Structure 1
Amino acid sequence: MSPSLPPLQATIIGFGMAGRGLHGNLISLSSKIMLRSLLIPSYANKTQHYESELASFCQKMQIPREAIAIYQSYAELLEDRDAIDLIVVATPNDSHLSYAKRAFQDGFNVVVDKPVANNLEEWHELSQLIKQRERETSGLKRLPLLSVFHNRRLDGDFLTVCQILEQQRLGTLMHMELSWQKSRPTKDWKRVPVEQGGGRFFDLGVHMLDQVLELLCRRMDYSVKSVYCDMKFDEYDSEISTICHLKFERAESEVPEHEVSRAKEVSVLIDTSTLPTIEKPRFLLVGTKGTYVKYGVDPQEKCLFAGNIHSAIEPDELHGTLVTVDKQNPEKVATLNGKWLNYYDNIADAIRDESVRPIVEMKTMDPLMRIMDGAVRSARSGKVVTEM
């Protein structure tokens, strides 16, 4: 790709923590995409608030305030459609689907924040729309790009876990746990029933489940066998803590006798509980030759919000520990640097060159949404779910 190409023009729908702190910052740090405009439906009612937030954002990112246009409705945005190369949906979960569908139908390239949908019915709506557009074009015209912001695939600790498994340093992987403790959600949009995308499981659990699927299904050819999910709900019927047990398997014919790097079955536990008062490991991986344990959350978000993602280098004391079965010489494994900055550069490349695959392809969302749906059904019924 020629370095002389001008940056693509992006519009973000929503200017809350995700729109401003994540997408706005990352786009502004990319040399291949620039932030052109914002769609803020409530701008007229909170003009002073949004202008204050925007002034602070522009100062931090060294962007002239007048360089960013404000739309107050989607219809207003459509009037400038020829000037917009990418729409980023960074609204609360309950409007992800409606904005993503509308923008994709109107021919825009779209990035939608996770979760892509709040339930399986919503996901089917979007996937059917994609198939319909594919039939309409009959391969004669390239469809707009549609991707989901699963930035946690680019966390440094997750990339380190991938490297450890690729190097087979744990032998045959048998069990893994992913935990993420955080205070109870206080935002109103998160305190709605889990079937509507509320709660911690659709906020943090979806990230961890996507990481598990990236490791086991996309890289190691496993498929999910069952899910059992224990959810705790508050007085609003909003999920506040979840412990999710999953089993993954490979068909017996797919596991040669001489292959020692992959077991026929791997168990997984995902914990988003608010109850522990002592921090649990972010990652725990158990194999036949050793165990890897890692505490602490990837530092990129904290540094990005502070205005210096380049300082997101994990301190030595938070590096993970690998212990072999003989328990001799526990090894500190340096955490790889995260790569969030690659996300929007990749999106720009994929928009301009159809041979470039986006980091998050839509086909990877179907198993994710099916397992999320199975987890919710398990939590409501108290039973193990095997049909997903």
Structure 2
Amino acid sequence: MTSISPVANVAVVGFGKIAQELHCPFVTASPHLRLHTILERHGDRCVQAYPNVCRATTMDVVCADAAVHLVIITTPNDSHASLARQALQAGKHVMVEKPLVNTYAEAQELVQLATERNLILTVFHNRRLDGDFLTVKRLIEAASDDSDERGVLGRIVYYESHFDRYRDQLKPNHAWREAAGPGSGVLADLGPHLLDQALYLFGTPDTVTADVRNQRQLKPNDPVDDTFTVHLDYQATGLRCTLTAGMLVRMANPLRFMVNGTRGTYLKYGGDPQEAQLQRGKYPFNCIEYGLELDQDKWGQIDTTLPDTQGGVHLVGRVEPVRGNYGAFFEALGRAVVDHDPVVPVVYAKYEALVSPREAAQCIRLIELCRQSSEEKRTVAW
């Protein structure tokens, strides 16, 4: 495929809340992307919001339009595989809202299709760009030398990550995420965030142990999971990762991260501010405080002994989170499409914010292993 200059035309498929609050605004703000088409099957909200953008009502129209270079899919999970496949077959680059697909077999099919056609395929694991996660990543990278346990925290032995909420009733209109069916439940909704972050930091584990269940029991025989706890174990380093999410955590400032190393511990309570900012219409292009954690009481806590200091200086205090920026993903995506390298794997190495197809598929594989472990009530190998 030849390079696109100076901007890539984007078709956003679906015009729900996440498309309205996140994808469309970031696309329109990118110097490398142009919002060209929105696929909205029912209603005309997209025309009201973006009067100069084309409205499509079918995927066939999007795929037949030679002016469209990139397709962003924001529809319910069970439609991701078929829509992404159709777009790739039409020669479009594709970005999919998480999770990529519902099954590992579907993920492998899409990865192969994108590779054969030399097209970009990525998934929006935006939580890699949370400020608190970026802070954890930097602390861990500073502690990555296993040979002499140097670094801020030393050799990492335990990593714990939470994504907890309180919602004791179903959403109004019984949203598809909480209805029985493929791609529903908390493991498919919040799981990709936590699982992808762990894979990004530490790679694939040796074993997986998971407990996935329904705690609220809002309906008789309700099969939709609303909580999970996952343990990932790495034999070579002795590292254990514990990942958990649930809908019955009512604390206003729940634990987000705990990282234990041979030298010290890092704790972070409360979530990244970007989601709340987006809901209030605040973006990097209209808010100078976007992505910053301004409340110092919510900054991370550290207790460690600094290396290479006489007597081993003991440090206890607060760590200001790195500024988060979901816009960095769209910046990388736009550049990757416009500067499309003839060898696609080079693209993912060049633009770190992008999730490679292999990484996206690994996350789906891990979700399947979690379900298998929980159903069989045993530890499973990767």
- Residues 30-109 of structure 1 mapped to structure 2, 5 A cutoff: 30-41=30-41, 43=42, 47=43, 50-51=44-45, 55=48, 58=49, 65-79=50-64, 81-109=65-93
Match of 1:27? 27
Matched, 1:275 2:237: no
What do residues 134-154 of structure 1 show as CA deviations (whole Å, max 9, x unaligned)? 5xxxxxxxx121111111111
CA contact (8 A) 2:12 2:19 kept: yes
Q: Distance in 1 between matches of 2:100 and 2:245?
A: 19
- Residues 189-268 of structure 1 mapped to structure 2, 5 A cutoff: 189-193=176-180, 196-217=182-203, 223-233=204-214, 234=217, 235=219, 236-250=222-236, 264-268=237-241
What do residues 189-213 of structure 1 show as CA deviations (whole Å, max 9, x unaligned)? 112447x211111111211110111
Which runs of at least 4 in structure 1 moved beyond 4 Å after TM superposition?
A: 325-329
1:304 Cα deviation after fit? 2.1
Identity %: 29
What do residues 230-273 of structure 1 show as CA deviations (whole Å, max 9, x unaligned)? 122244310111111111233xxxxxxxxxxxxx2210111102
One of 257, 263, 272 as aligned partner of 1:289? 263
CA contact (8 A) 2:122 2:360 kept: no
Match of 2:15? 15
1:18 Cα deviation after fit? 1.7
1:349 Cα deviation after fit? 1.1
One of 175, 181, 192 as aligned partner of 2:158? 175
1:174 Cα deviation after fit? 0.3
1:352 Cα deviation after fit? 2.4
Match of 2:175? 188
CA contact (8 A) 2:157 2:239 kept: yes
Aligned length: 340
Match of 1:380? 375
CA contact (8 A) 2:191 2:367 kept: no
1:5 Cα deviation after fit? 4.8
Match of 2:101? 117
1:27 Cα deviation after fit? 0.8
> TM-score, normalising length from structure 1?
0.82
1:38 Cα deviation after fit? 0.5
Q: Distance in 2 between matches of 1:66 and 1:128?
A: 37
Q: Which has the higher contact order (CA 8 A, sep 6+)?
A: 2
The one-letter code sitting in structure 2 at the alignment partner of 1:273 is G
The one-letter code sitting in structure 2 at the alignment partner of 1:210 is D
> TM-score, normalising length from structure 2?
0.83
Q: Which runs of 5+ in 2 are unaligned?
A: 144-151, 306-311
CA contact (8 A) 1:89 1:112 kept: yes
Distance 1:170 1:54, change over 3 A: farther
Q: Distance in 2 between matches of 1:243 and 1:327?
A: 36
Secondary structure, aligned partner of 1:115: coil
Q: Distance in 2 between matches of 1:308 and 1:230?
A: 37
Q: Distance in 2 between matches of 1:54 and 1:35?
A: 12
CA contact (8 A) 2:212 2:228 kept: yes
What do residues 272-298 of structure 1 show as CA deviations (whole Å, max 9, x unaligned)? 022333343111001110000001111
- RMSD of aligned alpha carbons: 2.2
- Residues 308-327 of structure 1 mapped to structure 2, 5 A cutoff: 308-310=282-284, 311-312=289-290, 313-315=292-294, 316-324=296-304
